Amino acid sequence: MQNDILDIRVFLAAKYIAMSLLWLRVAVVLYGIAAFAVLPAALYNRPRWRHVALPAALAGAFFHFVSITETLYAAHRALPVDTHETLSMLGLLLATAFLVLTARYKTVSFGIFLLPVVVLMTIVPAFRPGHETIAYPFIRTGWLLLHVALLLAAYAALFLSLIASLLYLIQERRLKQKLTTQKRSWLPPLETTDQIALKALLFGLPCMTAGLLIGSVVALQTIGPTFFADPKVLLSLAMWIAYMLMIFIRQHSGLRGRRAVYLSSFVFLVVLAVWSANALSAVHRFRAP
């Protein structure tokens, strides 16, 4: 009887995983359509293409969410445990950011940069799903789900701030070149772009702080103080300090344009270093089963 129940559970889990891959592949196609359609919509102000890009991106985000939900439910019910699933969730956050910005500021300009990145982050998990696990004995706890989700939200906010700073620099150069309004109409106003960059950072800071604190508390209770000698933990602390300094400098010095891009790029490189530290981490490293 127990074997029959186990077989049924395995069958249902395999079915959920197969369906989740199908929905993720549908999402990739829809994201690709949106990434293609957003170019004429933003660069040449073609409303018809805008009406293609937004529904495609919205539908892609919906199927993407369904895919992640089914994957987590079928496999481990808590949070992403391999690099592919983590990238997929980060892609969903960036797609959501694009939709929120479009609804709030009536601009699709950010889609030129965000949507191709979303496609790249989802195409590999969709067609070459990973089978890794994270070397951590308490992976099912809800606190770890919150830890991962908050840090991914902080990464997405930092990337969005970097994109906004790049758009600010492009718009500023076009204004200095005295281009016509039509040639720079695809870009948001400087004030709007700067607000988006700063608000993204201010949103990401509490997410990063709370995520690191939750991870630290869980680690102290389960692993002990030796956890804080882990390379990724040390780099994460450096990332938080760099994030704080970036916000402080932007707010108190009015940093804009090229210097803001350089500063955001530096912190983003620190984030990439933190991500790469999985290979050196004894706790966060993803391993094949």
The secondary structure of 70-128 as a DSSP string is HHHHHHTSSS--SHHHHHHHHHHHHHHHHHHHHHHH---TTHHHHHHHHHHHHHHHHHS
- The domains found in the chain, sorted by start residue, are 1-131 (1.20.120), 135-289 (no CATH)
Share of the chain above pLDDT 70, in %: 71
pLDDT greater than 60 at residue 75: no
What pLDDT does residue 9 have? 47
Instruction: Name 48's Cβ contacts closer than 8 Å, sequence gap at least 6.
Output: none
pLDDT of residue 88: 86
SS3 287: strand
Q: CA 126, CA 21: separation in Å to the nearest integer?
A: 6
Give the CA count within 13 Å in the CB-facing half-sphere of 21.
14
Taking residues 122-145, what's their average pLDDT? Answer: 64
In the chain, how many H helices and how many E strands?
8, 2
Dump pLDDT digits (tens) for 195-240.
888 888 889 889 988 988 887 777 777 666 666 666 677 777 888 8
